[in-house]
């Protein structure tokens, strides 16, 4: 089959032929219809995240079941499905404590780019090809464990729904699952890319009273206003921390979300939230960046909270149908997030759009 392959960091992703074995017991073979491009893919391509190589990236995918292995009961050939980069086994230490994104089976799989059994279904000329971010969706087909596919209604357009697979479940989940923002809360969001816009939509769903979005790109600030931002800040001209106090009567926002992938913005978030406020790290800064909290006793004495967020603390089998239903009810705008559609051959062009911060989300229309 054709797949967009990364052979070495800082080299172009190129479409080539790779081999994919058939589904084994408990696995599903999916024909990919569409797959979005996320900054986490770009970070691997540009070398700011290490990854096993060569690798097929793409983890925001939807498709149609083509074949199932022995014992698969929840889906059948012909079903439309969302692919989940991070499902949960339901049985490990973390799953049994209701922390599905920390599942020891599937979080390991996400970072190793291998199936839970330690192998990859992908190869080229007999050599292993890694299954990037536990999906490898920039390809015509993918092998997924049964628990990593969720059936969706046959009339849901897959080239729209695919953005739920990462951006939307991460951003909306950061608000509803990770932070559990309450009605009327004030929120600041750093970054208005696909993830930040999904956080903005989550804040609107949570009925936050003030949603302040920070982004240096004017086009993205104006898009944020259409997705529920009440205020936008250009960090090139206005200090977001000062704005947090000015826009909340001197108190500071209740929640700050870092969705740009820069460690310094976590520090800004800590300064922007009120005493008792919560900072959520959603963006994934380059591996060599860290933060410092000078006068950390002030952090302690003001009872601030700093929490990480992986894929929106999603419970895939519960949340993906919920997010599809919110879209069907007109309460979640997916179409508006997708500014470009391109064929698989143009994966590198799609990455270039993201590097230039043009548009918002690009969807690769693989099989549609």
Ligand X SMILES: NC(=O)c1ccc[n+]([C@@H]2O[C@H](COP(=O)([O-])OP(=O)(O)OC[C@H]3O[C@@H](n4cnc5c(N)ncnc54)[C@H](O)[C@@H]3O)[C@@H](O)[C@H]2O)c1
For CA atoms 28, 33, 36, 40, give the dihedral sign: positive
By C-beta, is 118 or 330 nearer to Zn ion?
A: 118
| Three-state secondary structure call for residue 25 | coil
Which residues, 242 to 261, sit near ligand X by CB under 6 A?
259-261
Please write down the HEC assignment for all residues of 233-279: ECCCCCCHHHHHHHCCCCCCEEEEEECCCCHHHHHHHHHHEEEEEEE
38 binds ligand X (CB under 6 A): yes
* Contact criterion met (CB below 8 Å) for 320 and 82: yes
103 binds Zn ion (CB under 5 A): yes
* Contact criterion met (CB below 8 Å) for 137 and 335: no
By C-beta, is 88 or 186 nearer to Zn ion?
A: 88
102 binds Zn ion (CB under 5 A): no
Closest approach, Cβ 107 to Zn ion, in A, equals 8
By C-beta, is 311 or 324 nearer to ligand X?
A: 311
Closest approach, Cβ 312 to ligand X, in A, equals 7
By C-beta, is 266 or 310 nearer to ligand X?
A: 310
- Given 3, 5, 44, 166, the residue binding ligand X (CB under 6 A): 166
- Given 191, 202, 252, 367, the residue binding ligand X (CB under 6 A): 191
Closest approach, Cβ 365 to ligand X, in A, equals 18
- CA-nearest of 82, 160, 102, 144 to 321 is 82
89 binds Zn ion (CB under 5 A): yes
For CA atoms 110, 112, 115, 118, give the dihedral sign: negative
In whole angstroms, how far apart are CA 10 and each of 38, 46, 116, 358? Answer: 16, 5, 28, 20
Interface residue list for Zn ion (CB under 5 A): 38, 40, 88-89, 92, 95, 103, 166
Residues lying near ligand X in the complex (CB under 6 A) are found at 38-40, 43, 166, 170, 190-196, 214-217, 220, 235, 259-262, 265, 282-284, 309-311, 354, 357
């Amino acid at each position: 089959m054709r797949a967009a392959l990364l052979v070495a960091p800082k080299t172009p992703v190129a479409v080539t032929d790779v081999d994919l074995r058939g589904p084994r017991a408990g696995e599903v073979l999916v024909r990919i219809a569409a797959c979005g491009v996320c900054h986490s893919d770009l970070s691997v391509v540009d070398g700011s995240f290490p990854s096993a190589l060569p690798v097929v990236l793409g983890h925001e995918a939807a498709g149609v079941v083509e074949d199932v292995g022995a014992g698969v009961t929840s889906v059948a050939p012909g079903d439309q499905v969302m692919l989940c980069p991070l499902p949960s086994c339901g049985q490990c230490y973390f799953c049994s404590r209701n922390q599905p994104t920390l599942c020891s089976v599937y979080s390991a799989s996400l970072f190793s780019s291998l199936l839970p059994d330690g192998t990859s279904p992908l190869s080229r000329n007999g050599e292993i090809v890694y299954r990037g971010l536990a999906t490898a969706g920039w390809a015509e087909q993918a092998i997924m464990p049964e628990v990593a596919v969720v059936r969706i209604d046959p009339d849901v357009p897959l080239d729209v729904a695919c953005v739920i697979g990462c951006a939307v479940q991460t951003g909306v989940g950061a608000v509803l699952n990770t932070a559990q923002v309450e009605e009327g809360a004030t929120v600041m969001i750093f970054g208005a890319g696909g993830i930040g816009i999904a956080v903005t939509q989550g804040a609107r769903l949570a009925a936050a009273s003030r949603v302040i979005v920070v982004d240096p790109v004017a086009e993205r600030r104006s898009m944020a206003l259409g997705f529920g931002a009440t205020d936008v800040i250009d960090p090139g001209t206005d200090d977001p921390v000062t704005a947090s106090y000015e826009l909340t009567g001197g108190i500071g926002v209740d929640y700050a979300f870092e969705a740009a992938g820069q460690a310094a913005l976590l520090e800004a978030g800590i300064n922007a939230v009120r005493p008792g406020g919560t900072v959520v790290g959603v963006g994934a800064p380059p591996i060599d960046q860290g933060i410092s909290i000078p006068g950390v006793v002030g952090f302690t004495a003001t009872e601030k909270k700093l929490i990480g967020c992986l894929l929106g603390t999603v419970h895939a089998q519960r949340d993906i149908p919920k997010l599809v239903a919110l879209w069907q009810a007109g309460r979640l705008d997916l179409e508006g997030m997708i500014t470009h559609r391109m064929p698989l051959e143009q994966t590198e062009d799609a990455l270039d759009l993201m590097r230039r911060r043009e548009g918002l989300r690009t969807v690769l229309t693989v099989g549609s």
